C-alpha cells in the first residue's frame, strides 16, 4: 500500500505542473530516438530532435528552409547558431510547457554551453543529461540493419523492426533506403567522432552534477524503465 501511494504521488506531483527537462546523449545505435519517443509520450514533454526540426524547416519552403536545404545538399554542416534559433522557437512554443527532451543535441561542448545559455535565459534548469551506453558490437548490429523513409524520417530495422513489405515504407509505400554510413567501417569512424566530441560535453554535465548513465545494452522496455528511475530521482 505504501508503494502504491508513493507511485500515485509521483504521478500526481508531476501532473500538477512540475516539468522535466532532459538531454539524451549516446552513440549511433544506442536507442536515443526510440527512448525519446517513449519518454515524450509518457510524460507529455516536447521531443526536440534536431534532425526532425531541420527536415521541417526545409519542407516549409521558408527563406531559412531554403538556406538550410542548400547547406545540407552541398554536404555542409548546419551552423550551431541556426540550430539554436530553431530550438529557441520550439522552446518558446506552448507545446513545450511541460518540459523538453533533447535528442541529437548537444553533440559537442560548444553546443552544450549554447544550450545551457538558451535554457538559463528562460529560467529553465536542466533536470538531467542521460548518457546511453552500449557495447560497440551491439551498436553495429543495430546500425547496420537500419532502413529509412527519407521524407518523414521514419526508421525500420531488418531484424528488430522490419517493414510489412521488405524495403517499403508502411505508410506511404515509398522505397526505403539504407544510409551509406550505416556500414561497419563507416560506423567505426562515426563512433570515433562521437567519443571525441561527446567526452567534453559529458564532462561539462558531470561538473554540473547532471550526468546520469543508463545501460542501453538491455531491451527497449528495460532501458525505458531504467530511465524512468533516473527521472524519479531528479523530480522528487
Known active-site residue 107: yes
Q: Which three cell numbers stand for residue 157?
A: 530495422
Phi-psi domain of 104 (left: phi exceeds 0; alpha: psi -120 through 50; beta: other):
left
Known active-site residue 19: no
Known active-site residue 190: yes
Known active-site residue 175: no
Cβ–Cβ < 8 Å for 187, 140: yes
* DSSP string of the chain, one letter each residue: -HHHHHHHHHHHHHHTT--EEEEEE--TTS-HHHHHHHHHHHHT-EEEEHHHHHHHHHHHT-HHHHHHHHHHHTTPPPPHHHHHHHHHHHHTSGGGTTEEEEES---SHHHHHHHHHHHHHTT----EEEEEE--HHHHHHHHTTEEE-TTT--EEETTTB--SBTTB-TTT-PBPB--TT-SHHHHHHHHHHHHHHHHHHHHHHHHTT-EEEEETTS-HHHHHHHHHHHHHHHH-
Catalytic residue among 55, 114, 142, 146: 146
Catalytic residue among 69, 98, 154, 190: 190
Known active-site residue 32: yes
Catalytic residue among 113, 154, 179, 206: 179
Cβ–Cβ < 8 Å for 87, 59: no
Catalytic residue among 10, 67, 107, 178: 107
d(CA 59, CA 52): 10
Catalytic residue among 19, 32, 38, 210: 32
Catalytic residues: 32, 107, 146, 179, 190
Amino acid at each position: 500500500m505504501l508503494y502504491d501511494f508513493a507511485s500515485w504521488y509521483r504521478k500526481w506531483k508531476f501532473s500538477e505542473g512540475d516539468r522535466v527537462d532532459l538531454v539524451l546523449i549516446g552513440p549511433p545505435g544506442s536507442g536515443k530516438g526510440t527512448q525519446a519517443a517513449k519518454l515524450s509520450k509518457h510524460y507529455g514533454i516536447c521531443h526536440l530532435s534536431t534532425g526532425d526540426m531541420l527536415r521541417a524547416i526545409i519542407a516549409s519552403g521558408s527563406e531559412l528552409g531554403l538556406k538550410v536545404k542548400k547547406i545540407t545538399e552541398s554536404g555542409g554542416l548546419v551552423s550551431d547558431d541556426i540550430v539554436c534559433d530553431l530550438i529557441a522557437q520550439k522552446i518558446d512554443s506552448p507545446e513545450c510547457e511541460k518540459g523538453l527532451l533533447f535528442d541529437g543535441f548537444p553533440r559537442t561542448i560548444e553546443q552544450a554551453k549554447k544550450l545551457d545559455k538558451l535554457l538559463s535565459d528562460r529560467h529553465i534548469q536542466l533536470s538531467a543529461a542521460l548518457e546511453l551506453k552500449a557495447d560497440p558490437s551491439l551498436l553495429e548490429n543495430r546500425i547496420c540493419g537500419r532502413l529509412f523513409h527519407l521524407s518523414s524520417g521514419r526508421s525500420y530495422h531488418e531484424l528488430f523492426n522490419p517493414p510489412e513489405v521488405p524495403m517499403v515504407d508502411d505508410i506511404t509505400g515509398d522505397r526505403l533506403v539504407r544510409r551509406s554510413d550505416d556500414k561497419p567501417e563507416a560506423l567505426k569512424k562515426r563512433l570515433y567522432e562521437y567519443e571525441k566530441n561527446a567526452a567534453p560535453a559529458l564532462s561539462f554535465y558531470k561538473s554540473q552534477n547532471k550526468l546520469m548513465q543508463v545501460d542501453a545494452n538491455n531491451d527497449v522496455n528495460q532501458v525505458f524503465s531504467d530511465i524512468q528511475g533516473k527521472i524519479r530521482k531528479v523530480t522528487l
